[in-house]
Amino acid sequence: MTAPFELSDDSVVVVIGTGAGGGVLANELAQKGVSVVALEAGGRYLPEDYINDEWDSFGQLAWTDPRTTSGDWRVSKDFSGLPAWIVKAVGGTTTHWAGASLRFQDHEWKARTTYGDTAGANLLDWPIDPREMDDYYTRAENKLGVTRTGGRAGLPGNNNFKVFEKGARALGYEEVHTGRMAINSADYDGRPACQQTGFCFQGCKWGAKWSTAYTDIPNGEATGNLEVRERCHVMRIEHNQQGKVTGVVYVDAEGNQQEQKARVVCVAGNSIESPRLLLNSASSMFPDGLANSSGQVGRNYMRHVTGSVYAVFDQPVRMWRGTTMAGIIQDEAINDPSRGFVGGYELETLALGLPFMAAFLDPGAWGREFTTALDHYENMAGMWIVGEDMPQETNRITLNSDVTDQHGLPVANVHFSDHPNDIAMRDHAYRQGIAVYEAVGATRVFPTPPYPSTHNLGTNRMSSDPRDGVVNAHGQSHDIANLFVSDGSQFTTGAAENPTLTIVALAIRQAEFIAAELGRQNI
């Protein structure tokens, strides 16, 4: 079914990365008859290959190429070589993700206008009107089969949700439900309903959770217009004298360097690898890296205000049973500066298995204070905080030339420090999360620090003015018309919501734009 394109074929669109952004873009373009070569650094794993064991799955899917960290975030101390917990595989991090699929709130597209001047924050409005996104969101929800949208039923609540819901209601929260999830509550799109197996983070063995690995990728391949080359790591993007990109150089599965010519190049390697690739593609014409005349490539790295609250009860919960993210409280997602911070946050249930709980509950901790928590693992409930963090110029991805990867390329250094607004929001969320569990009789609570980043955003941000960002409202780089950014690194600001639905909606929108521009011979 795959369409083999010649390396010398300079009519193809090259998409780098096959996750939420790249996988959707590649399929959407292929559906429109555009020839696409998708290059993916990771291997191909399907539901039958996924391993329902936390560490074994991590070994199978996680991006573990070397990276370094700096900044005052605790991840830099506890997981200095693992700033982000993301995937290297066909399907990208949509194999790992939990499936929470929320639209941005209108005001979040206009963060600068809504929040005003916030010291230390590099806030900007998105160059997109929220009304423009309505239809793309609807199409994204239908693609993913998001529950509680388009007439699809919600998922049933598991034990972890029931504890969370009862506490939330006791506090007077009203927007409490089992979430809008890209997990089938009934058969949909040829995939079965959720069997409540848990292990959503390890790849859904039923295919009930949407992932590009077994939806958009094979759908695109079936058109004959998409060729996915797995285990192909793009090292750099090439350009000509006119400053147009002409192709990419990559290391193939056999370790040989190849050059694929291209008419258009779309970068979708996630918010750490995408800026790294642009920076590693520096040339005499673009000494600071491609698309970097603004100096913003790699800057404004966002990871959401996160953290978890776990709680122990006097009776069993068995939170690991059923969907990993099984419900949400949305009342705190509003912008209400009287709480002491701008922007808002969502509270979403979360469960970790015993092996990951031991690693992440309080990294580095030991002794009875720690082990007595795990002794009551069966009686634990858990939730995750996801809130809007402030973009800061100094939070950034840079090249660390002291460390190279297996291809000899400088690795990404991920520098992050919280903004005071982030800290105020997290503290508020911890207090509320703790109150939720105490309202149902928690005997002990754990305000757990953020994990290595799962949401990585903002490092090639959209802006209307080329001086403020890297790409325009269509993800097209300000500097190079046939170079696009197609993943979460386009985000101008992060909003309170989990990002993937928006990444997908933007990819659908970008595919329309690219196809139209190709047709008009503009690129």
Partner 1 sequence: MSLRKQGMTRRQLLSQSALIGAGFAIGSGFVAGQAQANWALEVEHLKPETMATLIQMARDIYPHDQVGDQFYATAVKGHDSAEAAPGIEDGVAALNAAAKNLGYGRYLDIGWERDRVDLLRSLEDSAFFQQIRGGLVTGLYNQKAVWPIFGYEGESFSEGGYIDRGFDDINWL
Ligand X SMILES: Cc1cc2nc3c(=O)[nH]c(=O)nc-3n(C[C@H](O)[C@H](O)[C@H](O)COP(=O)(O)OP(=O)(O)OC[C@H]3O[C@@H](n4cnc5c(N)ncnc54)[C@H](O)[C@@H]3O)c2cc1C
Give whichever of 275 and 442 is closer to ligand X, judged by the CB atom: 275
> Stretches 2-10, 11-19, 359-367, 459-467: which one binds partner 1 (CB under 8 A)?
359-367
> Can residue 321 be called a binding residue for ligand SF4 (CB under 6 A)?
no
The size of the interface with partner 1 (CB under 8 A), counted in residues, is: 43
Rounded to an integer, what distance in angstroms lies between the CA atom of residue 512 and that of residue 505?
Answer: 11
Rounded to an integer, what distance in angstroms lies between the CA atom of residue 285 and that of residue 394?
Answer: 25
How many angstroms from the chain centroid is the CA of residue 130?
20
Rounded to an integer, what distance in angstroms lies between the CA atom of residue 451 and that of residue 235?
Answer: 28
Helix (H, G, I), strand (E, B) or coil at 127: coil
CB of 152 to ligand SF4, least distance (A): 14
CB of 169 to partner 1, least distance (A): 11
CB of 205 to ligand SF4, least distance (A): 7
Where in 136-165 is the site for partner 1 (CB under 8 A)?
156-159, 162-163
Q: Which one of partner 1, ligand X, ligand SF4, none interacts with residue 209, CB within 5 to 8 A by kind?
A: ligand SF4
Q: Are 404 and 411 in contact (CB under 8 A)?
A: yes
Q: Which one of ligand X, partner 1, ligand SF4, none interacts with residue 438, CB within 5 to 8 A by kind?
A: none
The one-letter amino acid code at 42 reads: G
The one-letter amino acid code at 40 reads: E
Q: Which one of partner 1, ligand X, ligand SF4, none interacts with residue 19, CB within 5 to 8 A by kind?
A: ligand X
> Can residue 95 be called a binding residue for ligand SF4 (CB under 6 A)?
no
CB of 237 to partner 1, least distance (A): 38
CB of 11 to ligand SF4, least distance (A): 39
Longest dimension (CA), the chain: 70
Rounded to an integer, what distance in angstroms lies between the CA atom of residue 158 and that of residue 203?
Answer: 19
Q: Which one of ligand SF4, ligand X, partner 1, none interacts with residue 305, CB within 5 to 8 A by kind?
A: none
> Can residue 198 be called a binding residue for partner 1 (CB under 8 A)?
yes
Candidate residues 31, 52, 335, 464; the one interacting with partner 1 per rule CB under 8 A: 52
> By C-alpha distance, which of 271, 210, 213 is closest to 18?
213
Give whichever of 110 and 191 is closer to ligand SF4, judged by the CB atom: 191
In sequence order, the β-bridge partners of residue 413 are 68, 398
Rounded to an integer, what distance in angstroms lies between the CA atom of residue 297 and that of residue 440?
Answer: 46
Rounded to an integer, what distance in angstroms lies between the CA atom of residue 36 and that of residue 24?
Answer: 12
Candidate residues 12, 84, 123, 194; the one interacting with partner 1 per rule CB under 8 A: 194
Give whichever of 325 and 347 is closer to ligand X, judged by the CB atom: 325
> Stretches 70-78, 123-131, 146-154, 194-202: which one binds ligand SF4 (CB under 6 A)?
194-202
CB of 212 to ligand X, least distance (A): 8
> By C-alpha distance, which of 500, 510, 512, 373 is closest to 444?
373
> By C-alpha distance, which of 307, 314, 317, 267 is closest to 449?
307
> Can residue 208 be called a binding residue for ligand SF4 (CB under 6 A)?
yes
Strand 444-448 relative to strand 328-329: parallel, antiparallel, unpaired?
unpaired
- Angle at Cα 318 formed by Cα 312 and Cα 323, nearest 5°? 120
> By C-alpha distance, which of 334, 352, 353, 354 is closest to 344?
334
Residue ranges binding ligand SF4 (CB under 6 A) = 183, 194-200, 204, 206, 208-209, 322-323
Residue ranges binding partner 1 (CB under 8 A) = 52-55, 156-159, 162-163, 166, 194-199, 205-206, 315-318, 320-322, 353-355, 357-359, 364, 366-368, 370-371, 374-375, 377-378, 440
